[in-house]
């Protein structure tokens, strides 16, 4: 990840190498200031629902490098990303929370791939609507398996306890009664 300096003269004792070469990767505060009114209008429009975020991204993407609003948003994004990366590096509890959340998501995705069916998860259709359907069906199937497993385990555990008269935590029946 690229860290951005607040000014060309900024230097840091222990972490200067994260920012790359001195004088490079500098935030253009003048651009943000000159476009601030436009940035706030766009943000207010998205918040009020006057424009969807996907429509906004499509508009900003077309000819984006010449679009000063796009360039200002990019600079604001660089500021936010640099601040968040610095917080992440300096805050051990935050790193633990991020790691825990990432592990949960990765576990869910691995489980989803195992549960998935058809062509080993490869989307064979070029139609975005069909691709979205396949992904949503797989997510539905994964969630169904994920949420019914504890329920069925609990039911089988309770019926096992009734059959043997003992707790399943202490003993697990190895054969079925007829």
pLDDT tens profile 72-111: 998 999 999 999 999 999 999 999 999 999 999 998 888 8
H helices present in the chain, as ranges? 29-48, 53-61, 68-90, 92-115, 128-164
Q: What pLDDT shows up at residue 178?
A: 46
Q: What pLDDT shows up at residue 156?
A: 62
Contacts of 30 (CB under 8 A, 6+ apart): none
Q: What pLDDT shows up at residue 162?
A: 59
- 119 confidence band (pLDDT: 50, 70, 90): low
**Cα→Cα distances 70→8, 24, 36, Å:** 22, 21, 12
**Cα→Cα distances 155→142, 143, 152, 173, Å:** 20, 19, 5, 14
Q: Which residue has the tokens 């207010």?
A: 44
Enter the DSSP assignment of 116: -
Does residue 145 register a pLDDT over 90? Answer: no
Express each pLDDT in 157-177 by its tens digit.
Answer: 555 555 555 554 545 455 555
Express each pLDDT in 11-70 by its tens digit.
Answer: 888 888 888 887 788 999 999 999 999 999 988 998 898 988 788 877 777 666 678 888
Enter the DSSP assignment of 17: G
């Amino acid at each position: 990840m690229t860290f951005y300096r607040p000014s060309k003269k900024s230097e840091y004792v222990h972490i200067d190498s994260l920012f790359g070469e001195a004088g490079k990767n500098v935030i253009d505060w003048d651009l943000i200031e000159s476009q601030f009114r436009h940035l706030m209008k766009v943000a207010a429009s998205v918040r009020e629902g006057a424009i969807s975020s996907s429509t906004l991204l499509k508009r900003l993407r077309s000819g984006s490098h010449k679009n000063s609003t796009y360039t200002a948003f990019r600079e604001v994004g660089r500021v936010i990303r640099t601040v968040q990366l610095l917080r992440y590096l300096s805050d051990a509890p935050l790193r633990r929370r991020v790691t825990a959340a990432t592990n949960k998501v990765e576990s869910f995705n691995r489980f989803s791939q195992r549960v998935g069916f058809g062509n080993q998860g490869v989307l064979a259709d070029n139609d975005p609507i069909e691709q979205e359907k396949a992904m949503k069906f797989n997510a539905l199937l994964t969630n169904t398996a994920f949420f019914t497993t504890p329920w069925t385990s609990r039911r089988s555990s309770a019926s096992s306890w009734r059959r043997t008269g003992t707790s399943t935590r202490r003993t697990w029946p190895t054969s079925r009664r007829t």
